[in-house]
Amino acid sequence: MIETDFARTDLWFMLRGAGMTLTLTFWAVLGGTAMGLVFGVLRAAAPWWINAPIGAVLDVFRSIPLLIQFILANSFKSIIGLDMSAFMVACVVLALYTSAYCTEIVRAGVQAVPSTTRRAARSLGMTWSQDLRYIVYPIALRVSLPSWVGLTLGVMKDTALVLWIGIVELLRASQVIVTRIQEPLLVLMLCGLIYFLMSYPISRLGAYLESRWRDDD
């Protein structure tokens, strides 16, 4: 029998960290997707003088490493005396980071809709909003879903960087336990297993929706 100092309380501590990881992922993806939908449609349809500034700002969030964004945002909050928790800082930074990538996913999905299809819809008397709702969004959703699922899984793993601003998520909880019991192989294997169990349902849901839509075509 393998002897280990890993206890039930350690597992519970890791699961609490996993709960924080899921919470951060939920708010980041929710906020980032909402902003990405708005900015993506604007980038696909708006004139250059609106498109260019949006693209320039989003390029900043795509270009600067996420770790640096966390540290700068947390430091800036302290400098200006903003009463904001580390959790809120993490959610805001992750949402902006997610929106920068989600915008391009949405833009590519909207631009994937054939212009002839949209012209046909307008010739049938559809308004611009009806064209978006009944023609563009259904097609763009099918095109964008695989990339969006990949983005969501990536954001879940990127939440590990919030440990640098004092948040205890799954990876940080694992590090604390490794430091205490000095059994990195066991702890990190459990950590990886928990990440897999959190990620697998999301990937399977994406695959299910893709196959269902493919069968409907």
Q: Quick: pLDDT tens for 150-195.
A: 999 999 999 999 999 999 999 999 999 999 999 999 999 999 999 9
Q: Which bin fits 187, alpha (ψ -120 to 50), beta or left (φ > 0)? A: alpha
At residue 17 the predicted structure's pLDDT band, cuts being 50, 70 and 90, is: very high
- Whether the model pTM is above 0.85: yes
Contact 20, 170 (CB under 8 A): yes
**Residue 166 domain flag:** yes
**Residue 70 domain flag:** yes
Q: How many domains does the chain have?
A: 1
Residue 59's CATH number: 1.10.3720.10
Torsion sign over Cα 114, 120, 123, 126: negative
Boundaries of domain holding 35 = 8-216
**Residue 24 domain flag:** yes
At position 193, the amino acid (one-letter code) is L
**Residue 93 domain flag:** yes
**Residue 1 domain flag:** no
At position 192, the amino acid (one-letter code) is G
> Residues with Cβ < 8 Å from 108, sequence gap 6 or more?
143, 144, 147
Percent of the chain scored above 70 by pLDDT? 98
> Residues with Cβ < 8 Å from 35, sequence gap 6 or more?
95, 96, 99, 102, 103
**Residue 198 domain flag:** yes
From the CB of residue 98, how many other CB atoms can be counted at a distance below 10 Å? 28
Contact 58, 40 (CB under 8 A): no
Secondary structure of 168-195 as H, E, C letters: CCHHHHHHHHHHHHCCHHHHHHHHHHHH
**Residue 80 domain flag:** yes
Segment 93-96 long-range contacts (CB within 8 Å, at least 24 positions apart)? 93/66, 93/69, 94/24, 94/27, 94/28, 94/32, 94/66, 94/155, 94/158, 94/159, 94/162, 95/27, 95/28, 95/30, 95/31, 95/32, 95/35, 96/32, 96/35, 96/61, 96/69
**Residue 3 domain flag:** no
Q: Distance between terminal CA atoms of the chain? A: 55
Average pLDDT of the residues in 34-51: 90
What is the predicted pLDDT for the residue at 7? 87
